[in-house]
Structure formats: structure tokens, C-alpha cells
Structure 1
């Protein structure tokens, strides 16, 4: 039975709930054990180590525990929905690769290095598999799927009248005056229409200064960036196109969005994840949101969640932002606006390198892709972490994986032009 909401109190300028997300340091015992297998904090996220480390990523960094709540407590806890069982046999679905058609599960497991998948249609669990020693309770690093979650709590703040996407970033973060975001609106940041000039390594959408400031895989961040990501953001100074002109994917934008949300709401980003999503949707497992040493949440890529819970979030979005009890979690107008798009995001997409992937747009930390007669609303991570939602059929496909290279045409082709259409077509044929 649902219970009363927690009371909130103010502490040091931030609203902290009685059950705030728990902050913790690296799991030093786990890190020491990993070193016995030639894995350290410096290389845990490498392609070679991803299969071993992605289900345990938060243990290599600081993090917040995101609680779904305790049944029997005074919290407002929603019991996870129990799904009906359906049948979708991946062995009977095929897709093409260089040698011809192969079973879809072989393509997922051996070519895309998929670790887990859940397929929902309404209240029916059509398929789930867990490879790489995972199970339904296993967490997994979701990389840039996190960006979409940060956008969700931003839009909840908009609906509450706390955040105005039309305002300039510096209205909320005056410390960024003179930075690359000096003239940017919050909406332009959320749409990645800022054209930042950042010296990024190959196959990355961030620079080493950002990850160092977050102590992501270094031990120098505490000395070099004592305030964590907050010390890094003002260092980004320049753009190469007029603000709002071009879609250019940069993780630093989402870190700014996360800070804007915290400023607008007076709450920590991790607490908003916990209070407004994990304790409102009806999720099955606690999650972790990685953070820097100063407590700054990794808004662009730090979520560690179970695959089934990712699918539950996707189902909520397809249900016009309502949980399975019919309670509004995310504003319906926001979801409708994403699916409709607008002239600005369409024009910005056409100037981006991703325009070669599909017709579509990037809006509010989500992609909307028109692929094989399907319009896909997608949350995307760079190693094959995806939540793909098809409004027309009501199908959600949640994937966690460890593809060994990031930002490659082959991975994008495999996921969005092969796997997702094949599954949607098979489900539609069953209907």
C-alpha cells in the first residue's frame, strides 16, 4: 500500500530528504581484488576489460546509491509490476552479416558483445536474456543512457515551475560567465546545440580533463580539480558555430545540464533520480550513480542499473509518462514534444555526423530515429547500452552491452538497422 511522501529539509542550500541518496567512495576491497586480475582504476573502462568491469563500474569510482525504497517503511514505495510471460525466440529471428544471415542471438552475443536484453510489450515480458554472468538483478554501466535520465528529472523540474529551459545557463550557473556556455540557453544545452570546441581523444565525446576532474579512472583528480567537475566546466571556453546552429554531441553539455537542475531545484541530482524516478516508477533494484570525489554526480554517463529496470522506464515513457498504476511521473507534453520534434533540432541534426545514421533528430538528451518504417525514441550509450521505444507497437527493447569500440558506424548499423527492426518486425508478426 502506498504511504505518505517523505518530508524535505534544507541543509547548506540543498534540499535533502530524510532518505537522501547515499554517497560512498571507491570500493577499495573490490579494486584491490581486481588488481589481481590485471585490472586497475586506470584501465577498468578499456575495451579489454569491459566484459568484466561494466557490471561493477561504480565500484571503481565514487558513487551514490539510488534506492528504490524499503517496503514496510514510511516511504512512498511502489511494488514493481509483475509481467505476464510471452515468447519471442531470438533463435528464430535472423539478421545479416558478412557471411550471410545468422541467428539474431549470435549476432547480439558474438558480434555486438551484448550482455543482457529485455523486450516488453505492454504488460508482457516477451524476452529476456542475461549473458556475461549477469542475471535479472545485475547492474550494468549504462554510459550515455544516463543523459536521458538527467533530462527526465530536468523536465520534471520544468513541470514544477522550478526550471525554465528558455533561460540562459548563466542565469542558473553564474560561475560559467565567460565560458563556452555564456550565451547558451538551457534548451540549447539539452539539445547539444552548443558546438563546443573540446580536444577529444579518438572515439570519445569528452576530453581527459573532464574524466580527471571526476576521478573516473585517475587518482590525480583530487589535487588537480578539488571541486571535481565544477572546476573543469569553466575551462571550456570556445565554440565553432553560432549557438543553436548545429547538433554536436559533447558530454560536457549534460554535465552542465545536471548542474543547472541542481541549481534550479536546490537538490542533488542523485536525490532527484531517487525520489522522482526510482521511487515513483516501481523499479525492482537499487541503482548507482557514479560521482566525482567532491560529490558531483556524473550526469552524462554514470548510471548503473538493471536491464529490466531500464525497460520499465521505457514502458513508463511509452505510457505517456505514467507508471503502471496510472500516476504521472514524467510530463506527457515533454514526451509528445520529443516525438514531434521541431525545425531547430531537425536542421541541427542534418549538419551532424549522425545524420548518416538515419533521418531524425536529437532533442533533450534523446534521439528520435526513423528507421525501417519505425519511429524509435532512443536512449543510447556508446558501448551498446540502449533503451529503444516504439510508440506505434508499444514495444520497449532494453540492452546492456560492452561493444569494444565506441562511436563506430558498425555498432550503430547493427543496433538500429538490424537488431531493433528485426525484433519489432517479429513482434508485429505475432500480434
Structure 2
């Protein structure tokens, strides 16, 4: 495949450094490429320390700030006790025990527009900017919706190559923006979380996020291939798809993702704090890690979820078109579940709960923004599990019992 990367020169600096060599780039770049920093990024998932590393990713990665404005959406507080017995996987626990069992750093619950419960653990607090991994995908989807509303994207059924011509002859040639939003790009991609192995995801993770050798979109343009399924034929969860969506946002706006997000979402949303994106390279070459790299406080995650619950309205302002909220979170016929028998569906980078109107932004190591329109609740849970995936049942049980306490 022809090499088409617009970052070819910049990517070379990562190759020159390697994992143990001396850096030769400018000082501001070099500080992210020392062997110590590269090793730290490679071990960010360490189960003994991830409760802490997930709170401090800005000390290990180059970042870009999403600036908050000077007008905060003040959320009313109506505290409710959630103390009592919880049954998690057959074990009866008190609330603190349930939070410990489910590896919780923060839990925030909104009911009827008010914060009814908020607890922080393990040294975190209201101002902690937590990295919540693929929760970022729901934000990147929202940026696509805003760009569409701004007239910068003509149609979701436009081909990716219309906006990113460097994707011609790549695995993304022939896929539409809507295909990527639904994780149905048809690109050959295997999302296996076995860091330290030789999997496809690990290869890109290690080269882009750990060693800063190339960008995620460079890989998409230069190395991605078509899979066995045609676009829109089959659901296949791919962080690479979201990275390409983020690069479309950059291209059509002519701006970096953080600045566009600040103007169009973060400030109108009335967020309390700045957020930041970790990047797949230093400031002069890196791009926001759109698939899983956004660090946000629990309260601002809650504002984002509440805006969706309110049909795109935040603090009395229509930030996001109501039509987009519906289109992004309500499954179209034939697109839920993701496969026969699955308890979940997938719309525009939001997971849906089969048989209910619940939709969720979900992240690796069990991060949640859970929006429940029927019960008028938003639950934000920020976790640090040892396992990247596979503990859905215990969280579902916790959420179900919290909801029951609030709605009985």
C-alpha cells in the first residue's frame, strides 16, 4: 500500500528515539520521549496502580486542554442516602463494600436533574480529571453531530474519503461516516485488550500512544485493510474507527479537536472544569486520542449525560440538536442488538441496552455514563478494575439496585 502519511517526517522522530535510545528532537518533544516516560506509558494499566494512574494521565502523556468557560451550569443538590445492603454477584455488602468490590474511584448519581449522590475514593475528588477511556467515543460522536449541524459535513452517508482523501486505497475506502459511527466500517480490525502481546490493537497502541512513532490516523491511512465484511454489513468494535471520525472533525473544521470541542460543546455545556485529551504524539505532531483519551471530572461527565437526557439542552441552552440526540442514542431498526442474543446494541458511539431506552458511554476498565430516560437518571461511575472488560454483571446489579432505591 502506498505510504500517504502527512506526518511522515514527524513520525520519524519516534523511530529515531526507540525505547532506549537518546532523543534528538526539540526539548519540549524530548521530555515525552525519555525511556522513563515511555516505560510509564507502557505500564499505565498496572492493576496495582491504575486507581492512581487513571487520575494523573497528564503527567505521562502530552495533552491538549479543552477549556471551560466562565459560565457554569450549576446543578442542584438534593442528597439521598444510598446506604443499605447490596447484593453483588451473590455477596451481600454495604454500600462501601459494593463500591470496593466494583473497584470504584467515583460514583455520581443524578435523579430528576439534581445530584442526589456523590462519592469519591482513593485520593480523588470533585476536581479530579479521570481518564475514562472509550467514554471518549461518545464525545467524539457528538463532535461529528456538531460539525454536521454547522454545515461542515454535508451528510453522514458521505464517504470517508470525501473528507480524508488520504484514506483512498486504505481499509476505509468505501465506508461512510455513518458506518464508522456504528462501528460497521468493514475494516479488518481485532480489538483485543492484551497489552504487551502482538495483537493488532497492541501494535498501534504501543507505536502511537506509548512510543509516539506514528499517529492513529497514519495507521488508518497507511496500513489498514478491508476486512471480510462490507461496510454496514457487520458490527465490529474498532477504536480505529473513532480515531478516523476525530480526524474528519479536524479536517472539516480546520482546527484541532480540543479547540473545536471547547467552543462548541464544553463552554456551552457550562462545564465546571477544563478537560484534556491525551495525545498520540508531542504537541507539534500529535493528535487527540479520539477513541479513548479524554480526561474529565465526574461532575462534567454528569452534565454531558444530563444534556443528552434533556434532549440536547444544558442550562436552558440548546447545545446539541434534539434530532441528533435521538438519532445518536435510539437504535434504528435492524441495528440492535449488535449480534443475535446480545444484551446490547450500538448506535452512534453510544451503547444501548436491549429492551430498554437506556444508553451508555462505556470505557475500558469499567467506566460509565449511564443515561436512563424512563427513570430520569444519569449515573457516572469511574472504575479501576484489574480486568479491562468482563465485569458488566456486577455493575449492572449495582446500577439496578441504586435505581430501585431512587424510584421505589
**TM above 0.5:** yes
Aligned to 1:350: 339
Q: CA deviation at 1:213?
A: 4.0
Aligned to 1:56: 56
Aligned to 1:251: 239
Aligned with residue 274 of structure 2, among 286, 294, 297: 286
Q: CA deviation at 1:138?
A: 0.8
Deviations 1:350-375 (A, max 9, x none): 25xxx53x1x420110011036xx53
* Cα distance in structure 1, aligned partners of 2:318 and 2:291: 25
Which runs of structure 1 show a deviation greater than 4 angstroms over 4 or more consecutive aligned residues?
A: 24-28, 199-206
Unaligned runs of 5+ in 2: 1-27
* Cα distance in structure 2, aligned partners of 1:342 and 1:125: 31
* Cα distance in structure 2, aligned partners of 1:272 and 1:31: 33
Aligned with residue 181 of structure 2, among 187, 190, 195: 190
Q: Cα 1:274–1:342, aligned 2, differ >3 Å: closer, same or farther?
A: same
* Cα distance in structure 1, aligned partners of 2:336 and 2:354: 12
* Cα distance in structure 2, aligned partners of 1:254 and 1:350: 20
Aligned with residue 133 of structure 2, among 125, 140, 143: 143
Q: Cα 1:198–1:341, aligned 2, differ >3 Å: closer, same or farther?
A: closer
**Residue aligned with 1:125, SS:** strand
* Cα distance in structure 2, aligned partners of 1:201 and 1:334: 31
Q: Which structure shows the higher strand fraction?
A: 1
Aligned to 1:152: 142
Q: CA deviation at 1:280?
A: 0.8
1:238 and 2:226 are equivalent in the alignment: yes
State TM-score, norm by structure 2. 0.85
Q: How many residues align?
A: 373
Q: Cα 1:208–1:88, aligned 2, differ >3 Å: closer, same or farther?
A: same
Deviations 1:211-234 (A, max 9, x none): 2342x223xx34xx3xx2232112
**Residue aligned with 2:40, SS:** coil
1:41-190 to structure 2, matched below 5 A, reads: 41-69=41-69, 77-89=70-82, 91-98=83-90, 100-109=91-100, 111-163=101-153, 164-190=155-181
Aligned to 1:425: 404
Given that residues 44 and 50 in structure 1 are in contact (C-alpha distance below 8 angstroms), is that contact kept between their aligned partners in structure 2? yes
Aligned to 1:13: none
Q: Cα 1:121–1:48, aligned 2, differ >3 Å: closer, same or farther?
A: same
Q: CA deviation at 1:290?
A: 0.8
1:388-427 to structure 2, matched below 5 A, reads: 388-408=370-390, 411-416=391-396, 418-427=397-406
Unaligned runs of 5+ in 1: 1-23, 70-76
Aligned with residue 333 of structure 1, among 319, 323, 330: 323
Q: Cα 1:370–1:105, aligned 2, differ >3 Å: closer, same or farther?
A: farther
1:237-386 to structure 2, matched below 5 A, reads: 237-293=225-281, 294-324=285-315, 326-346=316-336, 349-350=338-339, 355-356=341-342, 358=343, 360-370=344-354, 374-386=356-368
Q: Cα 1:141–1:319, aligned 2, differ >3 Å: closer, same or farther?
A: same
* Cα distance in structure 1, aligned partners of 2:200 and 2:146: 27
State TM-score, norm by structure 1. 0.81
